[in-house]
Amino acid sequence: MAETIELKTRSGLAFTTDVDGPVGGPLVLMLHGFPESRHSWRAALPVLAAHGYRAVAPDQRGYSPGARPDPADLSNYAFEKLIADAIEIAATAGYDGKRFHLVGHDWGGQVSWGVAGAHPERLASLTILSRPHPQSFRQALLREDGDQKHRSRHHRAFLEPETGKLLLADNAKRLRDGLFGQGVPSEALEEHLSVLGNPEALEAALAWYRSNKGLAADIGIITVPTLYIWGDADATVGPDAAYGTAQFVRSFAMEVLPGVGHFVMDQAPARTTDLLLAHLAKHPV
């Protein structure tokens, strides 16, 4: 059964983390996106544990109260620090210098692409949900005849100073209706809001966007064996960016989930976890 612990990294940050599975089993580090939390992985943790994996799902920088440097200083949320967090969390979990499996959704997927680009020797496998490779995303944004600019229009709003207050106003109505309006179950929504539904956490989460405008990241060809899972009803990631990801990954598999939106683990947890398990089995640590 999953246990919630605090993982204090060498940087002095304490990450609220759900863990499950045998200590010493192959590590599966799972990084959530926005506007979600470690609870994204609630369905996957016990299944991974039953298969002998050590599943570790932290609330990331800014989401964890003990890992929330001042978001007014955007350097605290620079992309390289988000990447370093993943490596340090793995070390604190008992896997310092060891290879592990990395899974990321949305912003956690962006960080995972960064880890795979900077530390390929550390990863046995990479699994990305929804978030395309940054270069594919950039290409799709620049297409004059594409729709990715429209799909990503909310990113610009996240840069405005009043956005946090607006998202939390009226019992977080905009978060509930706008960002979770893709079939996320109400119980999952409440779990995520238990982490993110306060001004301190939300401002820190928005600092990820403000520090990394346009989700720009200089990441080249990925050499880690990669599974990319995308729902074809994703309102924020279009087919240009999704299918274009293949050209930036040397060992690539893609699974398309029909009728599933952006929040893959909240909408299709069983199917997604089955795909993840098959990918992990193909690429043992």
Q: How far is CA 87 from CA 92, 98, 122, 166, 245, in A?
A: 9, 10, 9, 34, 24
96-146 pLDDT per residue, tens: 999 999 999 999 999 999 999 999 999 999 999 999 999 999 888 888 776
Closest among 175, 149, 160, 45 to 103, alpha carbons compared:
45
Predicted pLDDT of residue 69:
98
Predicted pLDDT of residue 157:
63
Predicted pLDDT of residue 13:
98
- The DSSP H or E segment spanning 207 is helix 199-211
User: How far apart are the C-alpha atoms of 18 and 34, rounded to whole Å?
Assistant: 18
* 186 Cβ neighbours under 8 A, 6+ residues apart: none
The whole model's pTM is what?
0.95
Q: Which residues of the chain have pLDDT under 50?
A: none
Amino acid making up residue 160: E
Chain-centroid distance, C-alpha 61: 12
Q: In residues, how long is the chain?
A: 285
